[in-house]
Structure 1
C-alpha cells in the first residue's frame, strides 16, 4: 500500500518554493483503502479528515492551499470526482500531493460523491474504486510523469488565461469604478482605522508561519487585526482577538464570530449575502458590504477608505499564478485593489521564509556544554576556583550532616 510521508527535497514552480520530506513512492501503484470522508468543498473536508482516511473531493484544478491542507491531514489517498488539472493553467496542487507521497486518483466522475461518510473502499492499481464487491467508479491514477506532462501542456496555454484575466480586470473596473476611485458604497463601521496600521490576515500560502513571524510587530505596534474568513481563526490561534472579520462566513469558526470582533459580511453586488443566515443564527451583530470581487479586496478597500496609515497583508494573492490558482474570475479585482491601495500596502507574505536561523538545537546544546566545561576547568585550575570549590564542598557536607542528625 502506498504510504504517506513528509519529504525533505525542495519543490519549486516558478515563484513558489515549498518543502516536504518524503520516502520514495513504490514504482507501481498498489491496492489501498480505508474509511472515506466526503465533501465537495475541500476546505470543509480537511476540518474532519484524519490520517489514514480516504479523502473524496470534487475539485477541478486543485490549488496549492487546498493541497497543503490535505497533506497536513495525511490521508491514505485522495479521490477526485473532477480533473485535478484541467489544463486551464499550471495549478500546483496535484504536484504537491504527489511530492508528499499521497496517491491521487483523478476524474472519477460524480458517482464517487455518492459514497457515504465512513464507507470503506479499496482502490486497485487501475484506479478503480470498490465498496465491497461493488465497483463505484473508475479514474486515472496520477503519477509524477503524467502530472509533468499536464503542467507543460497547461503552461503552453497560459496566454489565453492572461487575456481573460485582463478582460475581467477591465470589466471589474467598469462596474466598481465609483467604489475603487471614490469609496462610494463603503459601509460605516465602529472600528477606528484612521491613521492606524492594519494587519489583514488571509488564509493563503504560509499564512500561519508568516503570522508567527510578525508577533513582535503586533506586540509593538498594536495594529487593527482584520481576519478574512478563516484568517480570523489564525489570529485566535496566535492568542489574540481579531478586531474585524470580513468575509462570506463560510470558513470562519463560530468561536471567531463570537469573539467580539466587528463582523462585516461580504455580499454580492445585488445585495444578496449567503453568510447573513449564519451570523443571524449565531445572534452576532453584522454589517453588509456589497461589492464585486473577493473578501480579501473588501478588507483592503475598507481599511484604505477609512484612513489606515499602513496595511500589512499576510496570505494574500499577488502573482498571476496565485490569482489563477484561486480559481475565480473575481481575482482580477485584487489586481486593481492593490493598485488603489498603492504604497500603503506592505505584503508580508513569505516573511517566515525571509530569514531562518542557521544555528541548530544541537549546536546550542554543544555551546552550553562547552561553557560549563570551561567554567569547571577554571574552577579546578585557579586558586580562587579551588577555594570556591572547597567552600561549596563544606556547605554540602554541612547540609548532609544536618539531614543525618535529623533522622537519627
Structure 2
C-alpha cells in the first residue's frame, strides 16, 4: 500500500510497517531516512534523486542496508498519479498498480549510491562556495544577532548559572540522550531541558519533563505541548509565526522569538544570552555535511551561532565519553575492607554468632 506525501517527516508519522513511501525529497537527509526505516517501510519511491550528487549525502545508503527497495527519479507526476492508499508494487525500475506501469525510475542499491557519493566528494567545492556566499549574506542581514543582544522573549525559566541540555531531532539524538543518561550526567547535573520541536518528545520518552520547547511546533506531540514546559514559537522576520496558530487552537500560553535562523539557533542563543553556564547539544548540526544535509539557506546562521556560543557549547557525544560514573578498584578496595572489618566486629560482639561458630568448629577438634 502506498502512502503519499511531499513532506517526508509528516509521512513518517503515519506510514505503517510494510507500506511504500511515495515522496518528492531531493537529497533525502539522514534523519528522514532513519524515521522511514523505523516505521518499517518496504520501499521508497522518490520523485527526485535521493542523492543528487551536490554533496556527499550518505543518509539514503541506510535504506538498501536495511533491505528497503529504492526507486529514484520517478518524476513529480507520481504524486498525482498514485493516491494515498493505492495498492502498488515496485518491480525492478517500475512502479505497478493493478499490473499497470504508473511510474519508472532508477533502481538504487549500495553500489549505485556509492558511485554517486564518490562523485559528490570530488565536486564538493561548488557547494562549499555557495555555503560561504550564503553565510556572508546572512552576516549582512542578521549579523546584529551575533554582536548585539538579541530581543529574547521573557519566559518563566531561569537559565543563569545552569547547565542546559538542548535536544534537536537530528542524527543519533536518541542514542546520545541515552548515553548521557547512562553516564550519570542527567541525574547528577540535572540540567535544564530544552527540546527543539520533536526533541521535546525524546525527553518524554525517557520520562523526563522538558523545561522549554522551542520551534515551529510542527513536529511536537500535543502531550509535549501540554506538559507544562515554557513554549517559544520560532517566528520569522517577516512577521510570520507558523506554530502560533496551533498553540492558539490548543489554548496554551507561548512567547514568540523572531529570527532568520533555525529553531536550534534560537534555542542556543536564548540559553547563552540568559546566562547558561554550559550548553550541551544533542542532535544538533556540527559538521559541514550536517549543514548541507539540512538543505536550508538559514543553516548559515547555525554556523555563526555556534561561533558565538562556542566557549560554553559541548557536543553530547563528547560529554558521554568524558563524563563517566564508574568506581575504580582503588576506590572500591577500602569499602570492601571496611565491610569485612565490620562483619568481624559484629561477629565478635554477637553471642548467637559466637555460638554458631563454636558449633561449626567442634568437628574440627
TM-score for both structures, normalised by structure 2 = 0.85
Task: Work out whether 1:224 is the aligned partner of 2:205.
Answer: no
Equivalent residue, structure 2, for 1:312: 280
Say whether the 8 Å CA contact 2:17–2:42 is kept in structure 1: yes
Moved over 3 A (4+): 349-356
User: Given the alignment, which residue of 94, 118, 138 partners 2:85?
Assistant: 118
Distance 1:95 1:175 in 2: 37
Cα shift readout 1:265-290 (whole Å, capped 9, x = no counterpart): 10111121111111111111111111
TM-superposed deviation, 1:73: 2.0
Distance 1:346 1:330 in 2: 22
- Number of aligned residue pairs: give it: 326
User: How far is the alpha carbon of 1:110 from its aligned partner?
Assistant: 1.6
Equivalent residue of 1:71, what SS?
Answer: helix
1:12 maps to none
Gaps of 5+ in 1: 1-34, 357-382, 389-408
User: How far does the alpha carbon of each residue in 1:239-298 deviate from its partner, in whole angstroms, 9 at most, with x for none?
Assistant: 011110000111111111111111101011112111111111111111111101110101
**Superposition TM-score, scaled by structure 1 size:** 0.76
Gaps of 5+ in 2: 325-355
Question: 2:117 aligned to 138, 151, 155, which one?
Answer: 151
- In structure 2, distance between residues paired with 1:250 and 1:92: 26
3-state DSSP class of the match of 1:136? strand
Give 1:227 shift. Answer: 0.1
* Larger mean Cα displacement after TM superposition, 44-53 or 309-318: 44-53
Deviates more, 1:161-170 or 1:345-354: 345-354
Distance in structure 1 (CA, Å) of the matches to 2:147 and 2:154: 18
Paired position in structure 1 for 2:149? 183
Seen in structure 2, the aligned counterparts of structure 1 residues 65 and 349 have a Cα distance that, compared at 3 Å, is farther
Distance 1:233 1:254 in 2: 10
Partner of 1:359: none
The answer to whether structure 1 residue 268 and structure 2 residue 236 are counterparts is yes
1:107 to 73, 91, 106: 73
Residues 216-295 of structure 1: matches in 2 within 5 Å? 216-295=184-263
1:355, CA displacement in angstroms? 10
SS at match of 2:77: helix
Which residue in 2 is equivalent to 1:81?
Answer: 47
Is the 8 Å Cα contact of residues 185 and 323 (structure 2) preserved in structure 1?
no
The alignment status of 1:193 with 2:159, answered yes or no, reads yes
Q: Counterpart in 1 of 2:8?
A: 42
Q: Over residues 352-394 of structure 1, what are the superposed CA-to-partner deviations in whole Å (9 max), with x where a residue is unaligned?
A: 68899xxxxxxxxxxxxxxxxxxxxxxxxxx98x969xxxxxx
- Say whether 1:98 aligns with 2:71: no
How large is the Cα RMSD of the aligned pairs? 2.1
Q: For the Cα contact (< 8 Å) 2:42–2:67, is it kept in 1?
A: no
With over 3 angstroms needed to count, the CA separation of the structure-2 counterparts of 1:206 and 1:352, relative to structure 1, is: farther
Contact between 2:3 and 2:84, CA under 8 Å: does it hold in 1?
Answer: yes
